[in-house]
Amino acid sequence: NTLATPGATRTTCPYCGVGCGVVATPRPDGTVAIAGDETHPANFGRLCSKGSALAETLVPDRRLLHPQIGGERASWDAALDTVAARFAETIRDHGPDSVALYVSGQILTEDYYVANKLMKGFVGSANIDTNSRLCMASSVAGHKRTFGSDTVPGTYEDLEEADLLVLVGSNLAWCHPVLFQRVQAARARRPQMRLVVIDPRETASAREADLHLPIRADGDTALFLGALAAIEAAGAIDRAYTQAHTEGLDAALEAARPFADLDRLAEATGLDTDKLAAFLDLYAHTDKTVTVYSQGVNQSAGGTDKVSAILNCHLATGRIGKSGTGPFSVTGQPNAMGGREVGGLANQLAAHMDLGNLAHADVVRRFWNAPSVAQTPGLKAVDLFQAVADGRVRALWIMGTNPVDSLPQADGVAEALRRCPFVVVSDVVTDTDTMPFAHVALPSAAWGEKDGTVTNSERRISRQRGYLALPGDARPDWWQIQEIAKRMGFAKGFDFANAAAIFREHAALSAFENEGTRDFDIGALKTLDDAAYEALAPVQWPMPAGAAPTTRFFADGRFFTPSGRAKLLAVAPAEAPALTAERPFVLNTGRIRDQWHTMTRTGRSPRLSAHLAEPFCEIHPADAERLGIAEADLVSLSTDHGGATLRALLTPRVAPGTLFAPMHWTGQFSGAARVNALVPARTDPISGQPASKAAPAALRRV
Ligand code: SF4
């Protein structure tokens, strides 16, 4: 962290999972200069529009500066005593599963670690879930059942070194812009590299592709079953690899063969046979292939099976664990990966250990000296809010997220919070749509003020460093949780002096009785002193103590299943969304380039808002003509769960019969455009991730 400019601090962007390094330099006039960190291996100095505008989104005017009880300013002692007493009382009267935490891929690994430790080791409930459930839970589930571990095998360099890069359900150009810039630079250097984009919409990424497959919603599993069949037909199965390192190939092939027929595949995917044939030929015959997938895969009622269908193709061909190959899940949030590492999902334990695994529970119990380690999975996000609605969860602490806008059936979430006997909200701003439901509001440290680490999509741990003073009474999230834990009688496990101390314990747990049995091991970092933690340069795990660092997993063909072999799975396509005469459109939701989540920060930047200034709905011109809708008309969109009024944007980027609406706008910007209020709370049965991209919907001119 040594920089030539006085006052300059190396830190990490708080938006997407690319995890770009940022250099922040406060100026004497109180503003901050932001630049890309040229030494950071994720971005080498590049920043996208959102990262460049970080200084404009520091939100000093809307900060939550003091604790509040019942909307009135309170002292920290009063607020903490109230929260601890209500949680303890609820647990006493209704059991440990009557309380819950709902946290965020925005909080730092150290915050996440302390929250998870409190719930799963001391309260004795796994009712802690995170908004990362909406982001990549299907990838986690897919990785676990195939690799035996939640491992992203590759690195960003693999995307640059591939001869064929396939983006599935990922608008990388807008959602992970700096990574896409790296891809484009690699294509300029290596013109033989091919880019295929599989997406129902003609996105900015699709426009740059050599081949765009405008797939029908949820056609991905069928497509990758067809790809596996094509791989077999082309003689591209790596028999030596599959015999040595995998199991389940025969059953996976049997499930795939019906999709060898191009006409059947065309019917299942909505793609024309020429495009299908071109893709299958490339996919079967290109050794150096990377398949990148994101929300179009994960946010689906069949998301885990989509992931498995992709992993099957890479394992069947042995295209994994080698340079320029591999499946690659890109995470939406800055610290979705760090949250996974500490066990921040309701179905994880800690340090990539498993809930329900008695040996793992024993490791965690002894390491934490914990009185009550959770033994069974807790409630996943959608189920958690359902439990709030029906009174099973009676005290809820929401940290760094805005579920009243971001969860599906968002109006139902608001109603659940209204009924909940006790809601705590930790946030940095006062005016989210969730904040009015808080019985106690706790002011959190914001980006630029807090200290800790995040992990990006390629397993790279980077420091977020504070370079601004904490305003008012704002405190880090980990401090808030620790103070509550102490007041609940758990002082012994919660005496961390700073973020560095938490990180050391997290690193030590990752290595505790590990000996290569678990993928997540950063034991080499467990002895970092405070100064070394402060200076920590970006590092990629695994980093076991005493072993040479490796950047890529599975190079030796060894996986973390009991047999040591990767499991190919026989999967089948999920059912298509049920359209009706009343709801004849498929509504796809997603992001735009210059906004982040529910806009609590980016929405305040005029520069960012100038890109796309108001909520809109993309409609195919043929549908618009049929319904008498003209460009820029106001249109009403409705589903079984809610409605929204949006500006009509007529474009052939969407297919006839489909609509696209961004999910960013909220009550503070446009109460009529809370798109997640329309999305049904339909989830993948394995991962619990909501299907946010295929809601049956009605459309009419207002
Ligand atoms: Fe931040 Fe992602 Fe943009 Fe990088 S690509 S500057 S991490 S939003």
Helices 303-316 and 249-256: angle between axes, nearest 10 degrees: 110
Mean pLDDT of 355-364: 95
d(CA 364, CA 342): 11
Q: Tell me which CATH homologous superfamily contains domain 136-330.
A: Dimethylsulfoxide Reductase, domain 2 (3.40.228.10)
pLDDT at 559: 98
Cα(634) to centroid of ligand 1, in Å?
A: 32
Pick the CATH number of 68-132+334-540 from 3.40.50.740, 3.20.20.70, 3.40.50.150, 3.40.50.880: 3.40.50.740
Alpha helix segments (H runs only) across 177-219: 177-189, 204-207
Name the residue of 22, 43, 608 to mutate for ligand 1: max ligand atoms within 8 A of Cβ: 43
Residue with tokens 């940290």, as numbered in its chain: 399
Cα(386) to centroid of ligand 1, in Å?
A: 33
Q: What phi and psi values does residue 566 have, to the nearest 5 degrees?
A: -75, 145
Ligand 1 near 47 CB (within 6 A): yes
DSSP 3-state helix, strand, coil percentages of the chain (rounded to 5)? Answer: 40, 15, 45
Residue with tokens 């499946």, as numbered in its chain: 327
Whether the predicted pLDDT of 41 surpasses 90? yes
Cα(614) to centroid of ligand 1, in Å?
A: 22
Ligand 1 near 156 CB (within 6 A): no
The residues spanned by each domain of the chain are: 9-57, 68-132+334-540, 136-330, 585-701
Cα(181) to centroid of ligand 1, in Å?
A: 11
- pLDDT band (50, 70, 90) for residue 666: confident
Name the residue of 11, 12, 13 to mutate for ligand 1: max ligand atoms within 8 A of Cβ: 13
- Mean pLDDT, the chain, whole residue set: 96
Cα(530) to centroid of ligand 1, in Å?
A: 28
Ligand 1 near 22 CB (within 6 A): no
Cα(52) to centroid of ligand 1, in Å?
A: 9
Whether the predicted pLDDT of 4 surpasses 70? no
Ligand 1 near 20 CB (within 6 A): yes
Cα(372) to centroid of ligand 1, in Å?
A: 39
d(CA 309, CA 226): 10
pLDDT at 669: 73
Query: Percent of the chain, pLDDT > 90?
Result: 92
- Ligand 1 atom with minimal separation from the 42 CA: 4
Whether the predicted pLDDT of 522 surpasses 90? yes
> Is this structure's pTM higher than 0.95?
yes
Residue nearest to atom 4 of ligand 1 (CA): 20
- Ligand 1 atom with minimal separation from the 334 CA: 7
Peptide bond before residue 542 is cis, with ω within 30 degrees of 0: yes
pLDDT at 3: 66
- Ligand 1 atom with minimal separation from the 178 CA: 5
Cα(589) to centroid of ligand 1, in Å?
A: 21
Least confident piece of the model among 154-163, 226-235, 335-344: 335-344
CB neighbours of 246 closer than 8 A, spacing ≥ 6? 315, 316, 565, 566, 567, 568
d(CA 383, CA 100): 12
| Tokens at 573, concatenated | 């396509």
Per DSSP bridges, beta strands 695-701 and 634-638 are antiparallel
Here the ipTM equals 1.00
Q: How many C-beta atoms surround the C-beta of residue 7 within 10 A? A: 13
Cα(333) to centroid of ligand 1, in Å?
A: 10
Peptide bond before residue 327 is cis, with ω within 30 degrees of 0: no
Whether the predicted pLDDT of 678 surpasses 80? yes
Mean pLDDT of 275-283: 98
Cα(21) to centroid of ligand 1, in Å?
A: 9
d(CA 286, CA 283): 6
- Ligand 1 atom with minimal separation from the 19 CA: 7
Residue with tokens 């150009």, as numbered in its chain: 173
| Tokens at 317, concatenated | 């061909």
| Tokens at 145, concatenated | 């059942």
Task: Compute CA distances 209 → 139, 227, 266, 331, whole Å.
Answer: 24, 19, 20, 21
Whether the predicted pLDDT of 140 surpasses 60? yes
Ligand 1 near 18 CB (within 6 A): yes
d(CA 22, CA 30): 18
Fold classified for 585-701: Barwin-like endoglucanases (2.40.40)
Ligand 1 near 177 CB (within 6 A): yes
- Ligand 1 atom with minimal separation from the 12 CA: 7
pLDDT at 58: 87
Ligand 1 near 425 CB (within 6 A): no
Cα(198) to centroid of ligand 1, in Å?
A: 23
- pLDDT band (50, 70, 90) for residue 1: low
Cα(93) to centroid of ligand 1, in Å?
A: 45
pLDDT at 699: 98
pLDDT at 333: 82
CATH 3.30.1390 fits 9-57, yes or no: no
Task: Compute CA distances 393 → 38, 381, 401, whole Å.
Answer: 47, 12, 18
Mean pLDDT of 17-42: 96
Ligand 1 near 48 CB (within 6 A): yes
- 136-330 has the same fold as 68-132+334-540: no
Ligand 1 near 447 CB (within 6 A): no
d(CA 141, CA 262): 30
Task: Compute CA distances 353 → 69, 260, 370, 676, whole Å.
Answer: 37, 38, 16, 32
β partners of residue 638: 643, 698
pLDDT at 667: 77
- pLDDT band (50, 70, 90) for residue 336: confident
Alpha helix segments (H runs only) across 554-681: 606-609, 621-626, 667-670
For the stretch 524-552, pLDDT in tens is: 999 999 999 999 999 999 999 988 878 89
- Ligand 1 atom with minimal separation from the 51 CA: 6
